[in-house]
Amino acid sequence: MKVHPIEWISSPTIDAGVRLTGSWFATYRLIGRPSHMAVTTIARRVLATGAIAGTALLALTVPASAHTYRVSADCADGTSYLKVDLTAYNGDVTNTVKVTVDDQSVADESFKTSWQKNWNDLDATKAHTYTVAVQAGDDQDGSRGFSFTKSGTIKACVEAPPTTTTTTEAPTTQPTTTTSEAPAPTTSPAATPPADQGGLANTGASIGLPLGIGALLLVGGGALLLVVRKRRSAA
């Protein structure tokens, strides 16, 4: 069998699977080998080079799209909660996150690679609305999916207890009835006559009044006598 020398020249490819080059692979001159062996050898080399290049390109593209986020909100087992988990963001830029619950701001911060926060003390007897807005520094227009705004409603899962109204009444004062009892009659002890101390017996009559009348009559008589004498002297 006559063997003809075969000369193979490869096409441009990626150097070591990382960067493109304009150079050509080294020329493979396979002399004295059958044509099918040469083809097999070159095919193996091309496949190996392609695998390396594909792996390198995949390794370069994965970090650029590794931004991940998770927003979960629910009311279960008597607990109403909101959780925000941001990971693998680009730490070379400034990223921001804003969170509102029931139209009230509960977070407005900047972060680098990751940010996590939980609100698990929400009132489970009421429904709540929330909004989570993330602005990635390497996705200002949101075209890459790293920046997003997510809103939702958390339903109540606990029934509110009935409202009890307590009315306090003023105490009623009962009128006080006072019963006056007549004093028990007292019996005065019988008067004990004084003991006899001698002299005249006390008859109970007072002698002051007769003496007074006698003195008046005496004065009146004297005055009358004086008037009669003056009249006689005048006659």
Angle at 99 between CA 93 and CA 103, to 5 degrees: 145
pLDDT-above-90 percentage for the chain: 39
How does pLDDT run across 213-234, given as a tens digit for each residue? 878 888 888 888 888 788 777 7
Helix (H) or strand (E) run with residue 55 in it: helix 35-61
CATH node for 67-154:
2.60.40
pTM equals: 0.46
First to last CA, the chain: 227
Rounded-to-integer distance, Cα 228 and Cα 133, Å: 145
Domain positions in the chain: 6-61, 67-154
Nearest CA to 113 among 137, 133, 132, 131? 137
Residue 13 has pLDDT above 80, yes or no: no
